[in-house]
Structure 1
Amino acid sequence: MKKILNLALCLFLLCSCSAATKGHVEEASNYSSQYQGFTYYRDQLNDSDTKIYDLIYYHISKRDESYGIEAKDKDTLFKIYNYVLSDHPELFWEDGSEVTYTESAQTFEIYASKTFTNEEIRAYEKQLDEITQPIMDHVAKLSNDFEKVRYIYDYLIDETSYNENSVHNQTILSVFLYRSSVCAGYAKSMQYLLNKAGIPCTYLWGKTTYADEEHAWNMIKLNDHYYYLDATNGDISDEEIDQRWRYNFMTMNSEQMLQLYQPKEKYEETTAVEDSYFYQQNAYFTNYDESKIKALLEKEKKKEKPAIFFQCSTNDVCKDIDDKLKRDNKIFNLADENGIHIDQYHNYQSEETQSRLYELY
């Protein structure tokens, strides 16, 4: 019996055919092991599922139109297929929109959707190389991985506009070729560039806690610690707010991430702060520290639109700092002492990321 399924995240799949030979499995495994990027989802699999993963990756990479796979059930196959696409943003020709399958023992025949011809794929790959090489040349000159992450994060936000009607918006083509995308395009492009830069980055998907909508974002690894990053939310549409607000979403720990998102797959718990934006800017507070606030103000005094932007270890610490800055016009006095003469300020608060932004006027 033949069935047709339309799945938002999945593939193009069928059943009933010859499975891969032992030699074929070994060839696929060797091919997969040559990949230099971060394969977070592959690393979670047992040996038998890894073989399925490697075969799927091998055949997609070779642009095979059909191939046989042995799996215990279609749910396992769907899951692993999604893992391949989530580990490999460079496989842009496989966008995962339709699955067709027939039930036949435990052998599945996968039929790839022909979004592009092989000639078109080669042309797109050439364009991607030409567009991303100057980015990577600049990244190679940066002194540390934090600066590399920040540069790529800023680049994607500055060069991309959010548009639900953008072309090929589930792939990296939408960002690099058309400069317009949705969360999937942002997250896959971030993963693509960071892995090229040698910084482990994976693609996460799930729902937002604030709107209960499907969403995609990233998990990265800096100095053996995991952080979470979302360039889509960092792409602030409000031009009035200080653009540093984007960094709320650049290096979150798992607790902060879970305030914003509900991952559908495994993620890493982390409390590290040393490679966060705020820690790197000496703007991470564990208590009210007036000398640190003065240091932040000192950096701002020559700016046309001064502001102080900081993060706290807890929301209670943030509230305590707010209270002290507002009491007896403390924020005005501290600004004046540091050569910033203001009549008012705007205070933006993020409970999810435990941060504060004071724009000074």
Structure 2
Amino acid sequence: MEISQRYAYNQLDGGEKLLYERLCGELMRLSGEIELTCGEETLLRVLRAVIRDFPEMFWFEGKVALSENSFGQTVLCPQYIMDNMRQINSCREIIAARMNEIVFPENSSDYEKALAAALWLCENVQYSPGTALSGQNILSVFIDKKSVCKGIAKAYQYILGSQGILCTLKEGSLDGKALHIWNGLQIDKEFYNVDITMGFTPFRDYWREASESFEESGFFCVSDETLSFSRILFEDSFICPRDYDRKAAK
């Protein structure tokens, strides 16, 4: 998916978009020191947008060191979790092979693709709280096959992005306690919530008595109101006003 199509990018103003594009290029090249003329607040806001939009940038999770040079410029030093391009490309090849395992129905709609990707993740990845430190990126899903909510949500975002479907990350508090990450996606110009984590074994008790399938669980293509019983949504412009109407779509 092109940068211009990504969600967080389009929430920025013109100058911030230029900074976003610069940061993307530098991070893709594994740059060690990035000299910038913007303020720290703007820099960190734009950096968060890049991280939110690029699940495929698995070698960088947002940790940086900031300093100021003799010219008064802000110097950003990314702390990569992987800084060897050969190793990165090897991981990319494994991810591509795993992506090829996902079967999308012929001539399927965006809704059907979103459901197929969700079910593949639930069937092929294990939710593992023990991976909380290593499960924050897509490597945990496609290589380790064990992850937590953030890694799962990023993998889902990456899969849908490969199909041209706008998908982003949403953040809130689950049951008023733990930090939780899920997805917002766009289908037929409408925004919906999808919480793949709730399709994994430890969480199915949330919906199993009311529904036999994840599709009808109350966690797939639903509104913010539908999800409000289980979480508090942090402030976000990605508002999902209604549930997907499956009956009307058939």
Matched, 1:244 2:206: no
Offset at 1:190? Answer: 0.4
Give the partner amino acid of 1:270.
P
Matched, 1:119 2:86: yes
Offset at 1:37? Answer: 8.0
Greater gyration radius: 1
Matched, 1:218 2:187: no
- Deviating beyond 3 angstroms after TM superposition, the runs of 4 or more aligned structure 1 residues are 103-106, 238-243, 279-282
Give the partner amino acid of 2:160.
L
CA 249–67 in structure 1, closer or farther in 2 if over 3 Å, else same: same
Question: Structure 1, unaligned stretches of length 5 or more?
Answer: 1-33, 283-361
- 1:280-295 to structure 2, matched below 5 A, reads none
Give the partner amino acid of 1:126.
E
- 1:270-285 to structure 2, matched below 5 A, reads 270-274=241-245, 276=246, 279=247
Question: Structure 2, unaligned stretches of length 5 or more?
Answer: none
- 1:185-196 to structure 2, matched below 5 A, reads 185-196=151-162
Asked if the contact 2:61/2:80 (under 8 Å) is kept, the reply is no
Matched, 1:253 2:223: yes
Asked if the contact 1:139/1:148 (under 8 Å) is kept, the reply is yes
Secondary structure at 2:16's aligned position in 1?
helix
CA 221–149 in structure 1, closer or farther in 2 if over 3 Å, else same: same
Offset at 1:55? Answer: 0.8
Offset at 1:234? Answer: 2.2
TM-score normalised to the size of structure 2? 0.86
Offset at 1:122? Answer: 0.9
Asked if the contact 2:65/2:79 (under 8 Å) is kept, the reply is no
Q: Which residue of 1 aligns with 2:122?
A: 157
The whole-number CA distance in structure 1 between the counterparts of 2:188 and 2:203 is 33
Asked if the contact 1:142/1:148 (under 8 Å) is kept, the reply is no
Secondary structure at 1:237's aligned position in 2?
helix
Matched, 1:184 2:150: yes
Root-mean-square deviation (CA, aligned residues, Å) is: 2.5
The whole-number CA distance in structure 2 between the counterparts of 1:64 and 1:162 is 33
Give the partner amino acid of 2:112.
E
The whole-number CA distance in structure 1 between the counterparts of 2:72 and 2:198 is 42
CA 280–155 in structure 1, closer or farther in 2 if over 3 Å, else same: farther
Q: How far does the alpha carbon of each residue in 1:155-214 deviate from its partner, in whole angstroms, 9 at most, with x for none?
A: 111111111222731100101111110111110000000111111111122322x13221
Matched, 1:94 2:53: no
CA 37–92 in structure 1, closer or farther in 2 if over 3 Å, else same: farther
CA 143–239 in structure 1, closer or farther in 2 if over 3 Å, else same: closer
Secondary structure at 1:214's aligned position in 2?
strand
Secondary structure at 2:201's aligned position in 1?
coil
- 1:17-166 to structure 2, matched below 5 A, reads 35=2, 38-72=5-39, 74-96=40-62, 98-103=63-68, 107-116=73-82, 117-135=84-102, 138-139=103-104, 141-166=106-131
CA 106–236 in structure 1, closer or farther in 2 if over 3 Å, else same: farther
Secondary structure at 1:193's aligned position in 2?
helix
Matched, 1:206 2:175: no
Q: Which residue of 2 aligns with 1:28?
A: none
Give the partner amino acid of 1:232.
T
| Bigger mean CA offset, 231-240 vs 183-192 | 231-240
Count of aligned pairs between the two proteins: 241
Q: Percent identity?
A: 22
TM-score normalised to the size of structure 1? 0.61
